């Protein structure tokens, strides 16, 4: 894709709750890494973290035969963060993987 301001320096953010995936961003100092789960509120969440599939929010009932390892993580109010981070004049490109 061709972005309108190709000579402009972009701010790059990565929001990723899985520490194994997030560790890859240590090799990319140009990326501002946010170790959170993108969410609708700033709150604690219980997730099953799988470095292959990413964090998956667990339903309230889980079969006792397949209990996943659950982790407490911090959720980030993505809409609030975005409104505080960018302005109407900014050109925003977003890639989002939702699992």
Q: What does the pLDDT look like over 14-70, one tens digit per residue?
A: 999 888 788 888 899 999 999 999 999 999 999 876 655 444 555 555 555 666 678
In a domain, 17, yes or no: yes
- Answer whether residue 24 is part of any domain: yes
Question: Would residue 21 count as lying in a domain?
Answer: yes
- What are 27's two structure tokens? 């090799």
Instruction: Report CA torsion sign: 83, 86, 89, 95.
Output: negative
Domain-embedded: residue 35: yes
Closest CA to 17 of 63, 49, 43: 49
- Total number of domains in the chain: 1
The residues facing 4 across adjacent strands are: none
At residue 5, does pLDDT exceed 70?
no
- 79 falls within a domain: yes
Region 74-80 average pLDDT: 97
Is residue 16, in this structure, part of any structural domain at all?
Answer: yes
Please answer whether residues 36 and 13 qualify as being in contact, where contact means their C-beta atoms are separated by less than 8 angstroms: no
The β-bridge relationship of strands 31-34 and 12-15 is parallel
Structural domain boundaries, residue 48: 12-59+66-85
The pLDDT value recorded for residue 33 is 93
Q: What is the mean pLDDT of the chain?
A: 81
Model confidence, pTM? 0.71
Residue 97 is assigned to a structural domain of this protein: no
């Amino acid at each position: 894709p061709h972005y309108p301001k190709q000579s402009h320096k972009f701010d790059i953010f990565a929001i990723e709750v899985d520490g194994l995936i997030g560790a890859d961003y240590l090799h990319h100092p140009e990326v501002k890494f946010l170790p959170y789960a993108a969410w609708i509120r700033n709150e604690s969440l219980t997730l099953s973290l799988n470095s292959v599939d990413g964090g998956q929010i667990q339903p309230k009932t889980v079969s006792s035969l397949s209990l996943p390892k659950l982790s407490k993580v911090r959720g980030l109010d993505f809409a609030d963060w975005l409104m505080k981070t960018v302005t109407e004049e900014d050109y925003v490109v977003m890639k989002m993987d939702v699992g």
